Amino acid sequence: MIGVYGGTFDPVHYGHLRTALEVREALDLDEIRFVPCRIPPHRRKPFFSAGKRLELLKLATADEPGFVVDTRELARPGPSYMVDTLASLRREAGDKPLCLIVGLDAFLGLPGWHRWQDLFELAHLVVMDRPGYRPEWPSALKPQVEARRSDEVLPLRRRPAGRIFFQQVIRLEISATYIRQCLREGRSPRYLVPDEVLELMV
Ligand code: ATP
């Protein structure tokens, strides 16, 4: 199984890295693909340039076997829709299971994503808890959770896509927003990001 961890990574932080490692181990994924977006459809222009976000992400993941940075969204013109990314990964993966990994905050906003219902045809969804968010499903999401939820990993291995799996991860209250706020206010984001990221960031 391949994990797909999309995000703006503006910048990458330990909240991304630690949760990715835990999901990889818990689901025994062959690899996790970090997919930085070029133009995030749901938010303001990133603080760091695409080149810088990519550079920091590559540095942060370089030492971990099984962590791969995938640049297809940066190379694709227009807004970075996850459905396009998964369609392109699916063409390469054949029938291998793909697991789109999202934090609970992102999952709660899923009905706002471009062609969100098509995501289930292309990948499983692995949802990680995140401090500050509660599993209270918006009405559009509720039937999908009820129909697709699996409490075991095996059903995810048995088919390429279509299940929703909730994975407990360590609750790290770290966000890129907070790191950018530190930088703007002249405070240090040390210990929230790897040292080599910190060095290149400030
Ligand atoms: P921002 O604060 O700018 O919104 P972010 O810290 O949420 O950024 P993103 O790059 O937007 O980071 O997130 C990419 C993915 O990582 C999303 O699915 C998000 O839910 C997840 N994620 C980020 N930080 C954490 C965390 N601390 N715990 C669990 N999931 C996280």
Could you give all domains of the chain from N- to C-terminal order, each with its CATH number? 2-173 (3.40.50.620)
pLDDT of res. 40: 79
Whether 45 shows a pLDDT value over 90: the answer reads no
pLDDT tens sequence across 158-201 = 999 999 999 999 999 999 999 999 999 999 999 999 999 999 98
Is the model's pLDDT at 121 over the cut of 90?
yes
User: What is the distance in A from the centroid of ligand 1 to the CA of 72?
Assistant: 19
Pick from 5, 16, 128 the residue to mutate for probing ligand 1's pocket: most ligand atoms within 8 Å of its CB: 16
What is the four-CA torsion angle of 34, 37, 42, 43, rounded to 10 degrees?
100
Distance in Å, CA 175 to ligand 1 centroid = 6
- d(Cα 111, Cα 109) in Å, to the nearest integer? 6
- What pLDDT shows up at residue 202? 78
Question: Which strand ranges, in their side-by-side order, compose the sheet holding 124-128?
Answer: 67-69, 31-36, 2-7, 98-103, 124-128, 164-167
Residue 171 — left, alpha, or beta (φ > 0 → left; ψ -120 to 50 → alpha)?
beta
pTM for the predicted model, two decimal places: 0.97
Q: Are 121 and 144 in contact (CB under 8 A)?
A: no
Average pLDDT, rounded, for the chain:
96
**Atom of ligand 1 lying closest to residue 173 CA:** 27
The CA–CA distances, whole Å, from 23 to 11, 31, 49, 165, 173 equal 20, 10, 28, 11, 17
Cβ < 6 Å from ligand 1: which residues?
A: 7-10, 15-16, 19, 102-103, 105-106, 128, 130, 172, 174-177
When mean pLDDT is compared across 6-20, 30-44, 143-157, 178-192, the lowest value belongs to 30-44
Question: Is pLDDT of 101 > 80?
Answer: yes
